[in-house]
Amino acid sequence: MRKLYILLIVFGLIAITSCHKAGSQGKLTIKLNPTFGSSVLAINQNYQGPDGKNFVFQDFRFFLSHIKLVRTDNSTIEIESIGLFGASDSLHTSITVSAPNGSYKGIQFNIGLDSIQDAMQESSDPSSPLYNTDGMDNWGPGQGYVFAYVDGNVSPTPSGGFEYHVGTAPYYTSAPVLSKNFSIDGGNQTLILNATAQNLFYGSYSVNLNTQYYTETGGNNDSVAFAFMADFSHIFSLQ
Q: For the chain, what are the domain ranges? A: 26-238
pLDDT band at residue 134, thresholds of 50, 70 and 90? Answer: confident
For the ranges 5-9, 34-38, 55-59, the lowest mean pLDDT is seen at 5-9
Residue 168's region, left for phi above 0, alpha for psi from -120 to 50, else beta, is left
Scanning the chain, the segments in alpha helix (DSSP H) are 2-22, 115-118, 199-202, 223-232
| Interval 89-106 mean pLDDT | 92
Q: What is the pLDDT of residue 91?
A: 75
The dihedral through the CA atoms of 83, 137, 217, 43 has a sign that is negative
The three-class DSSP label of residue 160 is coil
**Residue 156, preceding bond cis, omega within 30 degrees?**
yes
Q: What is the pLDDT of residue 217?
A: 84
**Residue 158, preceding bond cis, omega within 30 degrees?**
no
Q: What is the pLDDT of residue 28?
A: 98
Rounded to an integer, what distance in angstroms lies between the CA atom of residue 92 and that of residue 81?
A: 15
Mean pLDDT of the chain: 89
CB 210 within 8 A of CB 161: no
The residue ranking higher by pLDDT, 159 or 22, is 159
Q: Is the pLDDT of residue 52 over 90?
A: yes
pLDDT band at residue 133, thresholds of 50, 70 and 90? Answer: confident
Q: What is the pLDDT of residue 141?
A: 61
Structure letter (DSSP) for residue 136? T
Q: Is 149 exposed, middle or buried (0-12, 13-18, 19+ CB in 10 A)?
A: buried
pLDDT band at residue 162, thresholds of 50, 70 and 90? Answer: very high
Rounded to an integer, what distance in angstroms lies between the CA atom of residue 106 and that of residue 96?
A: 16
Q: What is the pLDDT of residue 176?
A: 97
For the ranges 20-24, 192-196, 211-215, the lowest mean pLDDT is seen at 20-24
Residue 14's contacts (CB-CB under 8 Å, 6 or more residues apart) are none
Q: Is the pLDDT of residue 78 over 80?
A: yes
Q: What is the pLDDT of residue 137?
A: 81
Q: What is the pLDDT of residue 63?
A: 97
pLDDT band at residue 66, thresholds of 50, 70 and 90? Answer: very high
Q: What is the pLDDT of residue 14?
A: 43
Q: What is the pLDDT of residue 239?
A: 93
The three-class DSSP label of residue 4 is helix
Q: Is the pLDDT of residue 7 over 70?
A: no
CB 207 within 8 A of CB 231: yes
Q: Is the pLDDT of residue 4 over 60?
A: no
Bridge partners, residue 168, by sequence: none
| Interval 148-154 mean pLDDT | 97
Q: What is the pLDDT of residue 83?
A: 96
Q: What is the pLDDT of residue 138?
A: 64
